[in-house]
Amino acid sequence: MAPRKGRGAGFDPPNRFDGRSVEPFDDGWGSLAELATDPPPPTEVLPERSKRVITHNRSPDVPFDRSLNPYRGCEHGCIYCYARPGHERYGLSAGLDFETRIFAKHDAARRLRQELARPGYRPAPLAVGADTDPYQPVERRLRITRQVLEVLWETRHPLTLTTKSAGVLRDLDLLTRLAQEELVRVAISVTTLDPTLARRLEPRAAAPHRRLAAIRALAEAGVPTVVLVAPVIPALNDHEMERILEAAAAAGARGAGWVLLRLPGAVAALFLDWLERHMPERKTRVLAQLRRLRGGVLSDPRFGVRLRGEGPEAELLARRFTLTCRRLGLDRPLPPLRCDRFRPPGPHQLDLFG
């Protein structure tokens, strides 16, 4: 199938939780040709209602035990996104459905305030945007992330924020205030410095130069910012690791991290299709190197190796990252986020910016 303009996935793979499947069939009326020339599928925003918005985890691979995602699904359309299979639990596809049918937690701020007010709640850094981007395009209109940040500022609750969008700068006023109280750290993901590759991998995410500009603006405002070289894709962008770290450090980043490409569930089929459509000449090499990094398979869900891989080539990637961070001063520990400033929400809360 031809690539859809502005979308990362080229198709909707079968839902692993659904025993039914649909295949295109030429009925003699030219319907398949019409499908190929249809305009890009529009984005549909659906409400998601849940009693709680804070998700707790015990994963040893991540440095936080709680997270909040204002949205489920992501318009950025990053073909490698490990969150794609989550859409299958709703009877939807990890492919185009994930990019075009976005679940929005409209009452996230209200639910968050309720959870922070629970007796016995103990604060710890809250990871905002751990799965899907909190600053994807729909945030311009819905401002759910903005509302969540307002509650976190109101209660002086510490947080980390992860995004690949320059839209984070729309909330620079709040982030600056949070930083002054040592309550926030922002991570900007930079996958590649090549704008052509970025447009293919992440069709609706900010261009690489805009992400670097966001790092600079955040750093100049005093907001501690780190760069994530993520994901590292062998034979595609792994050679850029040092250049990305250098550019981010020059822009003011104070720390860095990296993650090896993960292909859980339906993401593997989507990524293979993407390679065939966009990089057919590199497909064999990319997959061969990835299998060497993953013990002979494309995906390894085991804790301890799923984010870094294993074997000599994985060790080399880790060594390159460590040495470059040391050279650039990106290996210095950042000050811990303050948890002692937390004040539970209540009926006599101070003004938002008081």
How far apart, in whole angstroms, are the C-alpha atoms of residue 65 and residue 216? 29
How far apart, in whole angstroms, are the C-alpha atoms of residue 40 and residue 201? 17
CB 42 within 8 A of CB 5: no
Per-residue model confidence as pLDDT tens digits over 112-126: 999 999 999 999 999
Q: What is the mean pLDDT of the chain?
A: 90
| CA dihedral for 243, 62, 102, 223, sign (positive or negative) | negative
pLDDT of residue 27: 43
How far apart, in whole angstroms, are the C-alpha atoms of residue 108 and residue 69? 9
How far apart, in whole angstroms, are the C-alpha atoms of residue 214 and residue 218? 6
Alpha helices (runs of H) in 89-193, residue ranges in sequence order? 96-100, 108-116, 139-142, 144-154, 172-180
pLDDT of residue 354: 43
Topology at the third CATH level for domain 41-328 = TIM Barrel (3.20.20)
CB 96 within 8 A of CB 11: yes
CB 289 within 8 A of CB 235: yes
Identify the segments of the chain with pLDDT beneath 50. Answer: 1, 20-22, 25-29, 31, 348-354
pLDDT of residue 193: 98
How far apart, in whole angstroms, are the C-alpha atoms of residue 339 and residue 182? 9
pLDDT of residue 26: 47
How far apart, in whole angstroms, are the C-alpha atoms of residue 131 and residue 68? 9
CB 118 within 8 A of CB 350: no
CB 41 within 8 A of CB 100: yes
pLDDT of residue 38: 56
Per-residue model confidence as pLDDT tens digits over 6-58: 666 665 666 655 554 445 544 444 545 555 555 667 899 999 988 899 999 88
Helix (H, G, I), strand (E, B) or coil at 163: strand
Residue 15 DSSP class: P
Question: What is the bridge-based pairing of β-strands 66-68 and 126-128?
Answer: parallel
Helix (H, G, I), strand (E, B) or coil at 231: strand
> Residue 260 CB: number of other CB atoms within 10 A?
23
- In angstroms, the Cα distances linking 61 to 214, 329, 336 are 27, 23, 19
Helix (H, G, I), strand (E, B) or coil at 159: strand
Domain ranges of the chain: 41-328
Q: pTM of this prediction?
A: 0.87
How far apart, in whole angstroms, are the C-alpha atoms of residue 71 and residue 56? 17
- In angstroms, the Cα distances linking 173 to 148, 179, 193, 215, 336 are 14, 10, 28, 15, 21
Which of 206, 163, 13 has its CA nearest to residue 98? 13
Residue with tokens 């819905």: 142
- In angstroms, the Cα distances linking 6 to 81, 100, 180 are 16, 11, 38
How far apart, in whole angstroms, are the C-alpha atoms of residue 153 and residue 183? 9
Token pair recorded at residue 267: 């993401």
pLDDT of residue 144: 98
Residue with tokens 């100049």: 220
